[in-house]
Structure 1
Amino acid sequence: MSAGPATPALALRGLRKSFGPVEAVAGVDLEIADGEFFAMLGPSGSGKTTVLRMIAGFEPPTAGTVLLGGRDVTRLAPFERDVNTVFQDYALFPHLTVRQNVEYGLRVRKVGRAERRERADEALRDVRLDGLGDRRPAALSGGQRQRVALARALVIRPKVLLLDEPLGALDLKLREQMQVELKALQREVGITFVFVTHDQEEALTMSDRVAVFDNGRIAQVGTPAEVYERPATPFVAGFVGTSNLLSGDAARALLGRDGTFSIRPEKIRLVGPPTAPDRGAASETPEPELSPASAAETSATGRIAEVVYAGPTTRFVVDLDAGARLVVTQQNLTTSSADVAALRGAPVRLAWRTEHAVPVPDPVVPTPRDKESAHAYR
């Protein structure tokens, strides 16, 4: 007899939230597996943080159900749910030591002193802060305080750990370091992490799966590669990374097809990268002949409208003869910052593999009947 499907660590069924006439969450259905690192990604106002607050119990849903390990916790108080939350501001008690901060949740649960200390020290070891238990939060760096907040959340061994943009207050280098450490920690402890962020790179770097939110709905759920390589809507294509969208006459001229197509900038190459022209001899020298693309590629000609030097890469903005504008990213294997200004206005041929022009479905617009049903469901 084969085993049935495992009960998800977290399941949301028809979750909705309205604030007066404003519908912040417009019907979310989602399942998150036990031990999964799951990211909820979206711009400000997309509904992701409201969903997190409803999971935590800080916000009651207008309609729908929250299930933790198959148990309906929709109407339970936050302290009755097997979850814990790490916030962006960490909310550490400045008058308590690091160890006392970590022990706090255990004290509330009336765990004995000896067990509290043992579990707090174990949690501090998990986040690589062993030996710092007697310090105060003010004596720690930003990254260390963030790890104290993690240890305090993990010490009660929740079923699900909720993280509300916990890296947002850190500088770029520390954020990148903590992304790697946080993912490694999640693998070690094996707890389900639900991570809210507006930073696309953070979501792609850390998560096993990503839900992209748009106007209170989930636009797409998938692995980072699926969401990036195969965006389900124009919004996802534009929000997750940089994407070129070809449609209308340009799509028909270049691809021979109707519809909307996404091409990522790094998938496009400059055929025969342009070299800086000799401005003094421009009137006497004919424009260079552009190399053809290979038979397996689609190509387009145009002129470089803008060049942005970004250290390891250069970003070219190209106005195509077919009428569209594409952004191309190229590694700086030869280009230097001294070259880029002279490349503006130069003719260029672009080429990309045919399969890298990915069809993007048009977004589904709710019908009046859908809206009436949603209103009745609330």
Structure 2
Amino acid sequence: MTSSQQAVTAPAIRLSGLRKSFGHTEAVAGVDLEIPDGEFFSMLGPSGSGKTTVLRLIAGFESPSAGTVHLGGTDVTRLAPFERDVTTVFQDYALFPHLTVRQNIEYGLRVRRVPRAERADRAGQALHQVRLDGYQDRRPSELSGGQRQRVALARALVVRPKVLLLDEPLGALDLKLREQMQVELRQIQRSVGITFVLVTHDQGEALALSDRIAVFHRGRIEQVASPAEVYERPATAFVASFVGTSNLLGEQESRRLLGVGGTHSIRPERILVAPAGTTPGAGQHAVEGTVTERGYLGHSTRLLVDLDGGGRLTVLQPQDAAPAEPGSRITLLWQRTHDYQVSPSD
């Protein structure tokens, strides 16, 4: 295979045996990952899981203790950040307060000595991409949080990188604006067609935006899959509990309720509530219990149900379902295909 063919077929990002230690703490404990060109990829996990360190290793802000980083088929492990064809958008946006919006966007082009006329043209295109036409002469202090976030995006995109890294860029926004910016971020990614890599601890954000998700835990990747597969078919108990809400059944509970051993996950919305004594249908499990708590969530109602043989299940009922009040006896039903075996997590 020629070098030109390798460039075409190589993934946008390839991480091989990546490790990073800070003193005696191993922040990244052996990560292997490939991200194809043009994908919206999310690295999801709690604080301290290693996801941000991996982003910094890709960007070149940190050097790995072991392993390699390839971008577009080229080994960049020992290259400085400015030598890598990536840009990064941070949570605090890092805009220059004394510069106008246009000057902030043009900054990277000026550093690269792009001619003035081309700078102006590309900055105008970037402003249009993020729907900030007419804002070019404002200062960052005159913008809302969402507008500053879009300026930071435009500044990153105007240099036309192969990969855009996003370090929790929506974390400082309120819920409604964050949801709005999630939609806009996905639309921007589709329009420019480059690889986006998002670091986030927000499961809903990762599920809504991503083509694929890597779930991080203790410096390792527990699962890489599409949002639907991560949610519906979690690989480990940690993924099942971290991504959304899940009922986790240990070995003894699985044997008592399901008739098999192992660790199993059941999503609360997959469980149906029926009158006490209801006979299960074909392919269903059934268990009797008593409602102990009922909570209104707006789109649904959450029930906590103490089971007759011990243990507790969480159930999510749609709002139009018949109410089950605390103290009432009920039968819980779910399809056998909806209890999914997962690997125990450390």
Place the TM-score, normalised by the shorter chain, in its bin: over 0.9
Q: What pairs with 1:244-263 in structure 2 (closer than 5 Å)?
A: 244-263=247-266
State the match for 1:144 in structure 2: 147
What is the DSSP-based 3-state SS (H/G/I as helix, E as strand, rest coil) of the residue aligned with 2:262?
Answer: coil
Amino acid at match of 1:353: Q
What is the DSSP-based 3-state SS (H/G/I as helix, E as strand, rest coil) of the residue aligned with 2:327?
Answer: coil
Answer yes or no: is 1:329 the counterpart of 2:332: no
State the match for 1:318 in structure 2: 305
Offset at 1:292? Answer: 2.6
Offset at 1:293? Answer: 2.8
**Distance across 1 between alignment mates of 2:303 and 2:153:** 41
What is the DSSP-based 3-state SS (H/G/I as helix, E as strand, rest coil) of the residue aligned with 1:218?
Answer: strand
Offset at 1:269? Answer: 1.0
State the match for 1:79 in structure 2: 82
**Distance across 2 between alignment mates of 1:221 and 1:254:** 29
Amino acid at match of 1:187: R
State the match for 2:339 in structure 1: 357
Larger-gyration structure (1/2): 1
**Distance across 2 between alignment mates of 1:91 and 1:229:** 38
Q: What pairs with 1:24-63 in structure 2 (closer than 5 Å)?
A: 24-63=27-66
Offset at 1:251? Answer: 1.4
Q: Moved runs in structure 1, 4+ residues, more than 3 A?
A: none
- 1:122-160 CA deviation, whole Å, 9 max, x = no partner? 001011111111111111111111000000000000010
What is the DSSP-based 3-state SS (H/G/I as helix, E as strand, rest coil) of the residue aligned with 1:194?
Answer: strand
State the match for 2:206 in structure 1: 203
Offset at 1:74? Answer: 0.6
The worse-fitting range, judged by mean Cα deviation, of 118-127 and 246-255 is 246-255
CA contact (8 A) 1:268 1:351 kept: yes
Offset at 1:295? Answer: 2.2
CA contact (8 A) 1:271 1:292 kept: no
What is the DSSP-based 3-state SS (H/G/I as helix, E as strand, rest coil) of the residue aligned with 1:95?
Answer: coil
Offset at 1:331? Answer: 1.2
Amino acid at match of 1:104: Y
Answer yes or no: is 1:103 the counterpart of 2:106: yes
Please report the RMSD computed on the Cα atoms of aligned residues, expressed in angstroms.
1.6
Answer yes or no: is 1:129 the counterpart of 2:111: no
**Distance across 1 between alignment mates of 2:178 and 2:279:** 43
State the match for 1:309 in structure 2: 296
- 1:261-282 CA deviation, whole Å, 9 max, x = no partner? 100001011114xxxxxxxxxx
- 1:210-236 CA deviation, whole Å, 9 max, x = no partner? 000000000110000111111111111
**Distance across 2 between alignment mates of 1:125 and 1:137:** 17
**Unaligned runs of at least 5 residues, structure 2:** none
Answer yes or no: is 1:345 the counterpart of 2:342: no
Offset at 1:202? Answer: 0.4
**Distance across 1 between alignment mates of 2:315 and 2:166:** 34
State the match for 1:221 in structure 2: 224
**Distance across 1 between alignment mates of 2:256 and 2:134:** 66
Offset at 1:334? Answer: 5.2
What is the DSSP-based 3-state SS (H/G/I as helix, E as strand, rest coil) of the residue aligned with 1:65?
Answer: strand
CA contact (8 A) 1:250 1:322 kept: no
**Distance across 2 between alignment mates of 1:292 and 1:172:** 43
**Distance across 1 between alignment mates of 2:50 and 2:192:** 28
What is the DSSP-based 3-state SS (H/G/I as helix, E as strand, rest coil) of the residue aligned with 2:177?
Answer: helix
Offset at 1:188? Answer: 0.6
**Distance across 2 between alignment mates of 1:324 and 1:31:** 41
**Distance across 2 between alignment mates of 1:361 and 1:250:** 15
State the match for 2:285 in structure 1: 298
**Unaligned runs of at least 5 residues, structure 1:** 273-288, 366-378
State the match for 1:173 in structure 2: 176
CA contact (8 A) 1:57 1:77 kept: yes
**Distance across 2 between alignment mates of 1:12 and 1:248:** 35
Amino acid at match of 1:209: R
What is the DSSP-based 3-state SS (H/G/I as helix, E as strand, rest coil) of the residue aligned with 2:150?
Answer: helix
CA contact (8 A) 1:246 1:324 kept: no
What is the DSSP-based 3-state SS (H/G/I as helix, E as strand, rest coil) of the residue aligned with 1:315?
Answer: strand
What is the DSSP-based 3-state SS (H/G/I as helix, E as strand, rest coil) of the residue aligned with 1:52?
Answer: helix
Offset at 1:111? Answer: 0.6
**Distance across 2 between alignment mates of 1:247 and 1:132:** 56
State the match for 1:271 in structure 2: 274
Q: Which is richer in strand?
A: 2
**Distance across 2 between alignment mates of 1:170 and 1:293:** 46
